[in-house]
Structure 1
Amino acid sequence: MPALRFGERSLTYAELAATAGSLAASIGSARRVALWATPTLETAVGVVAALLAGVPVIPLNPKIGERELGHIITDSAPSVVLAAPGDELPAPLRALERTDITLTLTGTAAPVELPAEPDPESPALVVYTSGTTGPPKGAVLPRRALSSTLDALEDAWQWTSDDVLVHGLPLFHVHGLILGILGPLRRGGSVRHLGRFSIEGVRQELADGATMLFGVPTMYHRIAEALPTDPGLAKALSGARLLVSGSAALPVHDHERIAAATGRRVIERYGMTETLMNTSVRADGEPRAGTVGVPLGGVELRLVDEAGAETSDRQEVGEIEVRGPNLFTEYLNRPDATAAAFTADGWFRTGDMAVRDEDGYVRIVGRKATDLIKSGGYKIGAGEIENALLEHPGVREAAVTGEPDDDLGERIVAWIVPSDPAQPPPQADLADHVAAQLAPHKRPRTVHYLSELPRNDMGKIMKRSLHA
């Protein structure tokens, strides 16, 4: 079974060791290396080589703009850029020494002596955040964060060397690169990358023995839309051992449509660049739609109020704070931002708002900055209103934000992509629907109708762009 397969190209573990080991030897003296992270076999080899060499690697989004790229290169100061032969690199990277990632595909390569394992606290990756509140910050992820997260997921997901993972996620972030490539390799299993997500690719790979699927909500939404007319897709999904969604909340409506068509429940997990994975629904647990499960092994999680005190009421919305071996070390060159991100006793402030069920399941209601709406004296999470709106037959997609209101403090605003653009559901119908599902004070006071919602590469809705 190949360790890595991208389309028609693959590497066995022996070929991966030889190829990555040879590359590791050539970059071992570098301070940091940048990696042009296209969705290719070369990117997977590049990150493995950097880890073998003990050299911190900075994965770069190949769709990045030159201004943002220039900031990242200046901030992280890599001495080498790794890229596939033939990749045309943008101007900010051309001043760096370039090392092409060449593959050994013969299966007869001489074994390479691998370096000793570096200290667990040494940096493995520098992953830049999305920069929604300023220039992107480089989160320095130590080796122990990668190993602790992947080993905790081994337990939570009952992940073994027999598992074959299929995904089509980009490879410049935690979900696609660390979970999607390094996860299977740490287990001694196999990963089949689609190059880019497609319904056909998912159907084909799951029907051909893949056991796990990783995706983001946009992907699962497209799967849910395709299922009624694609019995082959339903059959392929029904044979999977584990369907995992992450990077944003999967609407309950899509959960239910997939479960009804396939008999399989999608499970969700919760993490972020700075913390890797914090919680997950367990493979042997209840796959409860609308939750991200329970804390992973080794991870401490608490909810705190605006004063920083731990909440005692299970139904009270609080900010998630976490502590554990999965955390990043620092923001590169930003001691001020690093200090502000942690409490005095070492808890990381995630900025995510949630409630906890009686049995410890975490339900995220949104980001503190954009999804916590204070209206009429209530603290309201945008996520639960979005889920309610998505249950209305006239709504295809929905986002909810708050806007200043002289009377209420903030009023609830819904942004709707109608199922039928020619006959969008009236605002009064949507307000009544939410009031009946949740409570009257959670109904939207304003509704905007759009042809699509603005999303980033990971499928997350960019709410700041809605107001802009």
Structure 2
Amino acid sequence: MSFGAPLLLRSLNPLAVAAGEDIPDAVTIDGVTLSRSDLLGAATSVAERVARAERVAVLARPTVTTVLAVIGCLIAGVTVVPVPPDSGTAELEHILGDSGAQAWLGEAPAQTHLPVVPVRVHARSWHTYSEPEPAATAFVLYTSGTTGPPKGVVLSRGAIAAGLDAVADAWSWTADDVLVHGLPLFHVHGLILGMLGPLRVGSPVIHTGKPTPQAYAEARGTLYFGVPTVWSRIAEDPDAAKQLASARLLVSGSAPLPVPVFERLRELTGHAPVERYGMSETMITLSTRADGERRPGWVGVPVAGVRTRIRDEAGAAVAHDGESIGGLQVHGPMVFDGYLDRPEATAECWTEDGWFKTGDVAAIAADGFHRIVGRESVDLIKSGGYRIGAGEVETALLGHPDVAEVAVVGLPDADLGQRIVAYVVLGSAATDSIEKALIEHVAEQLSVHKRPREVRVVSALPRNAMGKVQKKLLG
């Protein structure tokens, strides 16, 4: 039996399974636990059914079917197109048409026009496949579409392997860990980090279905993944939070973790959360480390193999002083291959010397720590000659006890160029002077020129289907 490139999912090595070296609780999801042998046998059965396909769609519900569908495709070298299970009709048609998916693998939405290939959980096959080359495409992941129709992000097997190895190094992640999370399986965080990561490292993974405080507390893991909303709810449930004290690491990502939530988690669990930064196009490029400092509001240093830099609008280097901000550019082996069938969009996001332009605005401290302050397109505010990141103003406002949600934008101003305006959802009843109090709060926390000139109290913020605030609808 011969394998070409190194195995992407190292812990599913058929030679180890054939030798009887099993992992009895390799994956637990949807109330079902599968051993390493179960996973390999069932997923290889899936591989046999799809081996002649080029690209298939997977309705990414948190089920055993989804896990086996993805692993089966990776074994056979077939590209996976994960589809959000709550996709509306227009989004679904766009993803299927744009990706060129030839069939659904496993579950399928009602009234689909594509053929459906079943996933049989109890089927087994021990056929062996040569490992596809690292340059082969593993996934086409669709972006959230905040600036137009979702684009297909093409990720190679080699990029995924490099990205997973880099975070395993940063977080000291080993086969002795037990990962717990309840994240969606159609994006990098839940699927690639949260499911393929354990299958590469060899650590069992428990998917809780929904990421509730009680489910996290009952899972008894060593390594926990969550988005800020998850950690905020856990911080509000002291009994559940205290059950995580026995964990080794709490990791937060996908959005900035409010500093008050960071501090409350540290108080209740004894753990300062690890924060990290990444995107569909790059996976994780920055992180605080298991063996390093955890600085609230900062996403750490480059992971193994990554270089970063920040540039102003003219392309000039920006000082690494922790305050000056610029467009973040990255270089590393986990960066994607481009947007599917969109050569112009792909070319626009790379510099002439080969760096990927993330579209995010960041500051870098002298010691290499990074702070993300928002998106260049909507979060870089130029007011009174200053360049201000909306994200740091939002972080300051979220530190006020009366603020539940906030979005900060720059609106046209005849005098300042742009004035800083904060749209705030209050967590408590409004008072007559709340707007003034919030402006003063920011002026005390940050430089005075970063304070909002106006605070508008609203009942809700406009969000897209992925839950991201649509700032272009504010103003």
Give the TM-score category using the shorter length: over 0.9
Greater mean alpha carbon deviation, residues 35-44 or residues 14-23: 35-44
Is 1:276 aligned to residue 287 of structure 2? no
Distance 2:53 2:424 in 1: 49
What is the match of residue 17 of structure 2? none
What is the match of residue 29 of structure 1? 52
Match for residue 437 of structure 1 among 418, 436, 445: 445
- 2:314 maps to amino acid: A
The aligned length equals 451
SS of the counterpart of 1:436? Answer: helix
2:424–2:457: 8 Å Cα contact kept in structure 1? Answer: yes
Match for residue 226 of structure 1 among 237, 247, 261: 237
Shift of 1:462: 3.2
Distance 1:256 1:37 in 2: 34
Distance 1:241 1:425, change over 3 A: farther
- 2:103 maps to amino acid: V
Shift of 1:309: 2.2
- Give per-residue Cα distances to partners, 1:283-313, cap 9 Å, x unaligned: 0010111111110101111111111122234
Distance 1:447 1:404 in 2: 15
- 1:127 maps to amino acid: L
Distance 2:201 2:292 in 1: 21
Distance 1:99 1:286, change over 3 A: same
Greater mean alpha carbon deviation, residues 287-296 or residues 258-267: 258-267
Is 1:336 aligned to residue 344 of structure 2? yes
Greater mean alpha carbon deviation, residues 361-370 or residues 234-243: 234-243
Match for residue 419 of structure 1 among 424, 427, 433: 427
- 2:94 maps to amino acid: H
Instruction: Please report the RMSD computed on the Cα atoms of aligned residues, expressed in angstroms.
Output: 1.6
Is 1:65 aligned to residue 75 of structure 2? no
Match for residue 217 of structure 2 among 199, 203, 209: 203
1:434–1:443: 8 Å Cα contact kept in structure 2? Answer: yes
1:5–1:192: 8 Å Cα contact kept in structure 2? Answer: yes
* Runs of 4+ more than 6 Å apart: none
Q: Which runs of 5+ in 2 are unaligned?
A: 1-23
What is the match of residue 260 of structure 2? 253
Shift of 1:456: 5.0
Identity of aligned residues (%): 51
2:393–2:442: 8 Å Cα contact kept in structure 1? Answer: yes
Distance 1:340 1:422, change over 3 A: closer
Shift of 1:442: 1.2
Shift of 1:431: 1.1
Distance 1:281 1:237 in 2: 19
SS of the counterpart of 2:378? Answer: coil
What is the match of residue 462 of structure 1? 470
SS of the counterpart of 1:268? Answer: strand
1:267–1:287: 8 Å Cα contact kept in structure 2? Answer: yes
What is the match of residue 152 of structure 1? 166
Match for residue 354 of structure 1 among 341, 344, 362: 362
TM-score normalized with structure 1 length: 0.93
Match for residue 408 of structure 2 among 381, 400, 408: 400
What is the match of residue 98 of structure 1? 116
Shift of 1:83: 2.0
TM-score normalized with structure 2 length: 0.92
Greater mean alpha carbon deviation, residues 274-283 or residues 384-393: 384-393
What is the match of residue 123 of structure 1? 137
Distance 1:120 1:424 in 2: 61
2:235–2:241: 8 Å Cα contact kept in structure 1? Answer: no
SS of the counterpart of 1:153? Answer: helix
Greater mean alpha carbon deviation, residues 421-430 or residues 156-165: 421-430
